[in-house]
Amino acid sequence: MNIAANPVVEADQTVYLKDYQKPSFLVDSIDLDIRVYDDHTIVDATLNIKRQTAGDLVLLGRDLELKSIRLNGDLLTEAEYQLDAEQLVLSNVPDQATIQTQVVIHPESNTMLEGLYQAGDLFVTQNEPEGFRKITFYPDRPDVLSVFTTRVEADKKYPVLLANGNLLETGEAGEGRHYALWQDPTKKPSYLFACVIGDLAVLRDRYVTSEGRDVALEIYAIEKDIPKCHIAMEALKHSMRWDEEHYGRAYDLDNYMIVAVSQFNMGAMENKGLNIFNTSCVLADEEYTTDAAIMRVQSVIAHEYFHNWTGNRITCRDWFQLCLKEGLTVFRDQSFSEDLQSAAVQRIDDVAVLKSHQFPEDAGPLSHPPRPDHFVEINNFYTATVYEKGAEINRMMSTLLGQEKYRQGTDEYFRRHDGQAVTVEDWVAALSAGSGVDLSAFLNWYNQPGTPKLEAKGEYDAATQTYRLSLKQSLKAHPKYPNLKAVPIPVALALFNANTGEQYTLRSADLFVNNVKDGVYLFDQDRATIEFTGVTEQPVVSLLRNFSAPVNLDFDYSNDELAFLIQHETNGFNQWQATQTLLERILLEDHSAQAYIQALKNTLPELVQRDPLLASRLLDVPAEGYLGSRIDQNYQPEVVQSKRNALLDTFAREMGTFWKETYQALDPDLQNEFSQAMGERALKNIALSYMARQGDADAFTWAEEQYQTTLNMSERLGALKVLLWNDAPQAKACIDDFYNRFNDEALALDQWFMLQAAHPKANAQTIQYLTSHPDYDLGTPNRIRAVSGGLNSHPVNTWSFGVQHFIELARYLDEKNPIVGSRMLQVLSRWYTLAEPQRSTVQQQLLDLKAQVKSKNVAETLNSMLSI
Ligand code: B3K
Ligand code: ZN
């Protein structure tokens, strides 16, 4: 018997893109037999393999107890193969052969939530990127595609037995056990394999595709959560139709199953025909989940569904190409969500995430290109850069092409590569060929790290009625990526008449599309100047409308010009962007707040009536964490916090009765449209918190009333937040009441943890109380994220008592769940920007941790963090 033990970190385990080689063998088909018992699981695998190139047969496997291996029916002895902690290698294998293995695995004690694991009463899989090798020996890499036939057997206490594809057969297996046999007719890589064993209820529906296929839709969850699955079901049908209409892609199997599980490392997983979802990304119900969570559920449902074509039917050649499927699929789900609610607000929310997560990542020690060229642990590369920046690259190409050409390009991609495992180059080449526009310069975006800086200067010549815009781009040098090249930057822009507020029609020979109001200029050199003619009066320019490129814009606006844009920009995104630019100046460069306050006073009353959701976003004040990420040295979180609080106090005061009147005027229950109601709820909560800041005696009474009387989670939590974070006399009773109401609802209980951890005056005792609470569970990533995410909403707390919390968490998870451990540690990645003595203190704690960690995940993250 051989036990492949946990790997230990060796000197250099770096994998390089340049070393990519095709696998020696392909797998035509695999038969899996998975027999689950209480204290072990037996996995039999039969692989029909075929040689592709010269070389040994390499079957990857980790933590597997090998019981037997046969080659063409003959039992092999230990001398006939080489086995180590990572792989099983056979030499001199015939060009065509059958390999049979039997292994024993232990899902019941698998705390890493990777491979097959037990979560409560449920057994589920998570195989992307390299989990399948923890189930059986296999060429576990995305360029090996095979037909999977899966027999799942378990005790009848688990009535539900699922795997990918079509159900061929079910039956008795003796001793109170039963089995189900599934076959997935579509060839797929092993990372898309899934099976589920458990006792679940199901919500069923149907969808007939544009090609006439009648698809059975099923969402599996525990019985009491089934009523919370309807929004997800509607979103699924909506996504199916959207993909047909926008990309011409129809679904290809007779069933589509989604399973909700409460212990899951990330949001969801697109396994072929059998998605597995974190409950937080599938359960949606106004009573138990917030509006933001409901929006997220719809977008994640769409994301995983869209993967069926961008990811599953066309997959990645290797894991360096991860952003091929993720960047494209995120762009697709963002576009879907833009159709679902206000497009401007969706864009605001997506860019806010990009700027608060991806920009700091790209400016720090964890910076990497969307398509990295080396890694130690691929799980560390499911990053904001791969996902969100990857999406931005696709958005830029689609902006340039326009709807029709973009569609011709994607059609060509699906035509060329259906059923293949491909690269980023293949995608850009197909998009170029289909659209007739050479997009190859966009490969620079995929291959280079860092956020480009776009410096722009404007000059108006009244005599010739000409406006000249000079542009310059630059990228910060990166030690690992020399020879950085200019990238193509689509600059969407508009000019407004500063006196009348009207928008000019753009006249310039330099524009991609001329004589329009919204122009796009393709800036692909180091420097350029564009000239606009017929500009009769002093203009105000609005740049990067809709955030047309993921760059840091440096334009010397006056505060009055920004205030002008807040009031006159017709692009909701840039209206919001003007508020954010102005606020950054006020908060980080000590500018006066007057221009901002006056602009909002002029804009809000009308906007609150017309578009409450957009109005709620115009009230965004950059979070302390985001502001901190804009400071590269001598960062003092407490200084940022007190400046921000001072601004909020001023703003609360100066807006006078606006808050109270707004709170009283709005009634979300009267709105028919979800996004209108959502906007009004958001506004009312903001108004309540400003009323509290004003010291208005009604604030707490109204908050308590809102808390007690509502049946809507956004309203209940919004009110509770005001009470709790302001230490209102009613706070204790309400937070206890919340616990009593929802202690059997895991997702709502996460909010209970989060809200307390996010108290601005939380301290080490608060965290101690929460993490030793009987409902705190280190085996449930959602619960960990609730406390850690709450705590991290105030960098003052993160960088004081929080450091110890995150270090201890990383140390514990290093062994138990390194994927999540590595994530948690990344919270501290900007330690080097802190002012002394904090900087050295945190550095020392990280160095101490480095000596103790074992997993590749945590070790790689820590090494990068310390190599600044
Ligand atoms: N593809 C999965 C992510 C898997 C993460 C593994 N650590 C979810 C998604 O992007 O749809
Ligand atoms: Zn994805």
Task: Please state the rounded mean pLDDT for residues 305-333.
Answer: 98
Q: Which atom of ligand 1 is nearest to the CA of 268?
A: 8
Write down the pLDDT at residue 11.
52
Give me the residues paired with residue 48 across strands. Answer: 29, 98
C-alpha 268 to ligand 2 mean position (Å): 8
Mean pLDDT score of the chain: 96
Q: Which atom of ligand 1 is nearest to the CA of 270?
A: 11
- DSSP string covering 700-761, please? HHHHHHHHHH---HHHHHHHHHHHHHTT-TTHHHHHHHHHHHHTT-HHHHHHHHHHHHT-TT
Ligand located closest to 191 CA:
1
If one residue of 133, 326, 856 were mutated to test the ligand 1 pocket, choosing by the most ligand atoms within 8 A of its CB, it would be 326
Q: Which amino acid is at 257?
A: M
List, for residues 51-83, the tens digit of each pLDDT value.
999 999 999 999 999 999 999 999 999 999 999
Residue 868 — pLDDT band, cuts 50, 70, 90? confident
Between 817 and 481, residue with greater pLDDT: 817
β-pair type (41-51, 57-60): unpaired
Question: What is the Cα–Cα distance from 552 to 312, expressed in whole angstroms?
Answer: 34
The class (CATH top level) of 315-447 is: mainly alpha
Write down the pLDDT at residue 508.
86
Question: Token pair of 125, please?
Answer: 């899989």
Classify domain 1-199 by CATH architecture.
Sandwich (2.60)
Residue 513 — pLDDT band, cuts 50, 70, 90? low
Question: What is the Cα–Cα distance from 456 to 469, expressed in whole angstroms?
Answer: 7
Query: Are 622 and 585 within 8 A, CB to CB?
Result: no
- Please enumerate in sequence order all residues whose Cβ is within 8 A of that of 298, keeping only pairs 6 or more positions apart, or say none: 231, 232, 235, 238, 284, 337, 340
If one residue of 128, 305, 381 were mutated to test the ligand 1 pocket, choosing by the most ligand atoms within 8 A of its CB, it would be 128
Task: Please state the rounded mean pLDDT for residues 488-500.
Answer: 96
Q: Where are the domains of the chain?
A: 1-199, 315-447, 453-549
Q: Around ion ligand 2, which residues have CB less than 5 A away?
A: 326, 329
- Active site residue ranges: 304
Backbone angles phi, psi at 793, to 5 degrees: -75, -10
C-alpha 281 to ligand 2 mean position (Å): 13
Q: Is 49 exposed, middle or buried (0-12, 13-18, 19+ CB in 10 A)?
A: buried
Write down the pLDDT at residue 2.
42
* pLDDT > 50? residue 327: yes
Residue 213 — pLDDT band, cuts 50, 70, 90? very high
Q: Is 146 exposed, middle or buried (0-12, 13-18, 19+ CB in 10 A)?
A: buried
β-pair type (255-261, 214-221): parallel
Q: Do domains 315-447 and 453-549 have the same CATH topology?
A: no
Question: What is the Cα–Cα distance from 271 to 112, expressed in whole angstroms?
Answer: 19
Write down the pLDDT at residue 706.
98
Question: Token pair of 287, please?
Answer: 């009573």
C-alpha 853 to ligand 1 mean position (Å): 25
Q: Is 654 exposed, middle or buried (0-12, 13-18, 19+ CB in 10 A)?
A: middle
Question: What is the Cα–Cα distance from 93 to 107, expressed in whole angstroms?
Answer: 31
Instruction: Reduce the DSSP state of residue 358 to 3 states and report it.
Output: helix
Residue 479 — pLDDT band, cuts 50, 70, 90? confident
C-alpha 128 to ligand 1 mean position (Å): 6
Write down the pLDDT at residue 509.
81
Helix (H), strand (E) at residue 400:
helix 390-417
Write down the pLDDT at residue 6.
38
In percent, how much of the chain has pLDDT > 90?
96
* pLDDT > 70? residue 342: yes
Task: Please state the rounded mean pLDDT for residues 341-345.
Answer: 94
List, for residues 364-407, the tens digit of each pLDDT value.
999 999 999 999 999 999 999 999 999 999 999 999 999 999 99
Write down the pLDDT at residue 812.
98
Residue 264 — pLDDT band, cuts 50, 70, 90? very high
Query: Are 526 and 473 within 8 A, CB to CB?
Result: yes
Name the nearest CA neighbour of 529 among 488, 470, 486, 472. Answer: 470
Q: Which fold has domain 453-549?
A: Immunoglobulin-like (2.60.40)
Write down the pLDDT at residue 288.
98
| For ligand 1, atom 4: residue with the closest CA | 128
| For ligand 1, atom 2: residue with the closest CA | 269
Residue 7 — pLDDT band, cuts 50, 70, 90? very low
Question: What is the Cα–Cα distance from 689 to 233, expressed in whole angstroms?
Answer: 35
What DSSP character marks residue 149?
E
* pLDDT > 80? residue 711: yes
Q: Which atom of ligand 1 is nearest to the CA of 330?
A: 10
Write down the pLDDT at residue 514.
56
Task: Please state the rounded mean pLDDT for residues 453-477.
Answer: 97
Write down the pLDDT at residue 1.
38
C-alpha 358 to ligand 1 mean position (Å): 17
Q: Which atom of ligand 1 is nearest to the CA of 300?
A: 11
Taking the alpha carbons of 714, 331, 860, 452 in that order, is the dihedral positive or negative? Answer: negative
* Binding-site residues, ligand 1, Cβ < 6 A: 128-129, 266, 268-270, 303-304, 307, 326, 379, 382, 819
| For ligand 1, atom 9: residue with the closest CA | 269
